[in-house]
Amino acid sequence: MQNSSLKKGLSKRHVFFIALGSAIGTGLFYGSAGAIKVAGPSVLLAYCISGVMAFMVMRALGEMVLHNPLPGSFGRYASNYMNPFSGFLTGWTYVFEMVLVCLADITAFATYMGFWFPEVSPWLWTLGITLVITGLNLTAVKIYGEMEFWLSVVKIGAIIAMIIAGFGIMLFGFGTATHEATGIHNLWSNGGFMPNGWEGFIASFSVVVFAFGGIEIIGLMAVEVKDADRNIPKAINAIPFRILFFYVATLAILMSLYPWNKIGLEGSPFVTIFESLGIKYAANILNIVVITAAISAINSDLYGAGRMLHGLAEDGHAPKKLNFVSKSGIPVLSVLAMFCVLVIGVVLNYFVHDKLFFLIAAMATFATVFVWLMILLSQVCMRLKMSKAEQKNLRYQIPFWPVGPIIAILFMIFIIVLLGFFEDTAPALIVGIIWIVLMLVCYFVMKRTGNEAKHADLK
Residue 99 or residue 351, greater confidence: 99
- What is the pLDDT, as a whole number, of residue 3? 45
Q: Give pLDDT, residue 414.
A: 92
Which pTM does this prediction carry? 0.85
For the segment 241-251, the average pLDDT, to the nearest whole number, is 80
Averaged pLDDT for residues 19-43: 73
Taking the mean position of all CA atoms in its chain, how far away is CA 242? 14
Position with higher pLDDT, 34 vs 375: 375
pLDDT in tens, 160-193: 887 887 787 777 765 545 455 667 777 887 788 8
Average per-residue pLDDT for the chain = 80
Asked whether residue 227 carries a pLDDT value surpassing 80, the answer given is: no
Q: Express as a percent the part of the chain with pLDDT over 90.
A: 17
Whether 217 contacts 18, CB under 8 Å: yes
DSSP-assigned letters across all residues of 44-81: HHHHHHHHHHHHHHHHHHHHHHHHS--TTTHHHHHHHH
β-sheet bridge partners, residue 29:
none
What per-residue confidence (pLDDT) applies to 82?
94
* Residue 241: predicted pLDDT: 77
DSSP 8-state symbol, 15: H
Res. 453: pLDDT tops 60: no
Quickly state the pLDDT bin for 2 (edges 50, 70, 90): very low
Instruction: Render pLDDT for 140-154 as a digit per residue (tens, 0 to 9).
Output: 777 777 887 888 888
| Mean pLDDT computed over 67-76 | 81
CA separation for the pair 168, 175 (Å, rounded) = 9
pLDDT at 406: 96
Q: Domains of the chain, with CATH numbers?
A: 12-449 (1.20.1740.10)
- The predicted model gives 228-243 an average pLDDT of 80
Query: Which of the four pLDDT bands, split at 50, 70 and 90, describes residue 92?
Result: very high
Q: Which of 89-103, 260-274, 406-420 has the lowest mean pLDDT?
A: 260-274
Confidence at residue 218, expressed as pLDDT on a 0 to 100 scale: 79
Cα separation, 417 vs 255, whole angstroms: 30
From residue 317, alpha-carbon distances to 64, 90, 224, 436 in Å are 20, 11, 22, 15
- Return the pLDDT at 379: 95
Residue 361 or residue 433, greater confidence = 433
Residue 190: alpha-carbon gap to chain centroid: 32
Q: Which of 255, 238, 257, 226 is nearest to 10 (CA)?
A: 226
Which one of 107-111, 277-281, 399-403 scores highest in mean pLDDT? 399-403
Residue 394: phi and psi, rounded to 5, are: -60, 135
Question: What is the mean predicted confidence (pLDDT) over 208-227?
Answer: 76
If one compares 403 and 28, the residue with the highest pLDDT of the two is 403
> Residue 149's closest CA among 161, 141, 159, 138?
141
Helices within 212-281 (DSSP H only): 217-221, 228-237, 239-242, 250-257, 269-276
Nearest by Cα to 186 from 174, 173, 195: 195
Half-sphere exposure of 301 (CA within 13 A, CB side): 27
Helix (H, G, I), strand (E, B) or coil at 393: coil
